[in-house]
A and B are shown apart, each in its own frame.
Chain A
Amino acid sequence: MDSKEYIASGILELYVAGALSEKENEEVYAMMQQYPEVKQEVLSIEAAVVNLTAATANKDTSSKFDTIKQRLGLSNTASDADETPVIPLQPKKSIFRYAGWAAAIVFATGLLYTAVLYNDLESEIEVVRAEREDLKKQIYEANSDLTAANDLLDALRIKDIITVPLGGQQVSPESYAKVYWDKKSNSIYLDLQGLPEPPPGKVYQVWSLKLNPLTPTSLGVIEDFAGDKDKVFDLQNANESEAFGITLEPAGGSESPTLEQLYTLGVVASNP
């Protein structure tokens, strides 16, 4: 895929949203390293989203950084460095005084240490939780992919399923497709791996055909060909089909098939 198509796909907007999987994030990162225009696009999208989200802030919180600094015990930045000089007190030489201070310091150090430890643990929990959410998402996605694949396999293994290979026709001789027809449930599965992606504004339409006389019945159009990963589609077919054909039609489909745009055709074997 070239960088233009990549940008136009909308993946970069999802990247900034944090809506992609870890693997996809790494892909986008690699594309950004390779193509400066991809990186520039990400920066622009990010700028837009930063602006949009910032516009929802109904309160100015810029001064709250001081609180954060205090809570983290960070040393002050330049602006605060020149504060009132500390005037040394005249030391009173009392052993109890020192002992008191020492105890206080020990106590304070202990407190501080506990606080830091607590803070650390809390952040750790937050980060681990975010990672766990990510993993859950990945497992969920993998599981639903697997379920879909298993369902498909089960469907294709039905005993009485009829397999109809469709061969490429004049407009596209190298095309092919396969129809799996389960007569009992009146459903068909179409494997369209062997068809080219339809040009913009066009869709594939599937037809059930009676041969004598030639009578086509539309079984439906394939709406999201490009977006479907495995290119397997299911449709209903309650017809006594004798053949199946696939034509290229304007988006939305046609009343009757455009025969000049017949991509694949196959006859149902009379004795399956």
Chain B
Amino acid sequence: MELETLIDQFQKKDAKAFEALYQMYNDSIFGVINTIVKNDDIATEIMQDVFIKAWNKADSYAAKKGRFFTWLLNIARNAAIDKTRSKSFKNAQQNQDIDFFVHSIEGNDQLDQKVNAIGIKKYVGKLAEKCKQIIDFLYFKGYTQKEASEELDIPLGTVKTRNRNCIGELRKALEV
């Protein structure tokens, strides 16, 4: 089914469309959250909250404001960052030191047929340091273009072109 139709039905509170969207994005949302909170159980909790929020606030999504996936990603990153700021979280967090999404992928033996495992691992393996940083900032941490430019100390335009090159490599590896 067309993605647009699914989203439309989801907004009309169709539970089946909701489930289809969940199965489409749950890994991504869980992965991004876990890259931030670095704890499987907490990430699972937050991931469920995110989808519940999306369901409850479905009508606040509008296609002209951005992609549905991006909308979910935003809710997820906010919820995960919120959690890392909470007191209970700081106390529970001790010996976790996964730094980047890169380590999560390289150390991931759960990669199933859902994703192109060989392509991704190959890509991440030879990813330039520059790309690791910018991808981490833009996709996993939710930085704006401006924040990324300041954090990396490169001009705004370079953020765009560098990131396009990095994602270009990924697309080559995945053939999309």
B95-148 residues at the A interface, CB under 8 angstroms: 101, 104-105, 107-108, 110-112, 114-117, 119-121, 123-124, 135, 138-140, 142-146, 148
Given A49-B167, A130-B78 in contact, is the A74-B15 Cβ separation under 8 Å?
yes
Contacts of B111 in A (CB 8 A): 55
A127, B56: Cα distance in complex, Å: 10
A241 to B144, CA, bound (A): 42
Quick check: A59 and B110 within 8 Å, CB to CB? yes
Per-residue interface assignment for chain A, residues 1 to 17, with 1 indicating a CB less than 8 Å from any chain B CB and 0 otherwise = 00000001111011111
- B56 contacts A18, CB within 8 Å? no
Chain B residues with CB under 8 A of A124: 57
Question: Cβ of B23: which chain A residues have Cβ within 8 Å of it?
Answer: 62, 65
Expressed in whole angstroms, the minimum distance between the Cβ of A69 and any Cβ of chain B is 7
Give how many B residues have a beta carbon under 8 Å from the other chain's beta carbons.
83
In the bound complex, CA of A59 to CA of B56 (Å): 25
Let me know if B53 is at the binding interface, CB within 8 A: yes
Q: Which of B57, B104, B114, B171 contacts A56 (CB 8 A)?
A: B104
Q: State which of A17, A26, A123, A227 has its C-beta within 8 Å of the C-beta of B138.
A: A17
Let me know if B63 is at the binding interface, CB within 8 A.
yes
Which listed residue, A17, A48, A74, touches B170 by the CB 8 Å rule? A48
- Interchain CB contact under 8 A, A126 and B75: yes
Q: How far is the CA of A56 from the CA of B142 in the complex (A)?
A: 16
The residue on B at minimum CB distance from A137 is B144
Contact string against B for A residues 72-87, beta-carbon threshold 8 Å, 1 for contact and 0 otherwise: 1011011000000000
| Shortest Cβ gap from A41 to chain B (Å) | 10
Would B28 and A50 count as touching, CB distance under 8 A?
Answer: yes
Q: Confirm or deny: A61 has a beta carbon within 8 angstroms of a beta carbon on chain B.
A: yes
Q: A123 vs B51: C-alpha distance in the bound complex, in angstroms?
A: 10
Contact in complex: A19, B48 (CB < 8 Å): no
The answer to whether A20 touches B155 (Cβ under 8 A) is: no
Those of B52-110 within 8 Å (CB) of chain A:
52-53, 55-57, 60, 63-67, 69-71, 73-75, 78-79, 82, 101, 104-105, 107-108, 110
What would be 9 A-B contacts, judged by CB atoms less than 8 Å apart?
A: A16-B67, A48-B170, A55-B115, A56-B31, A57-B34, A58-B31, A65-B51, A120-B56, A137-B146
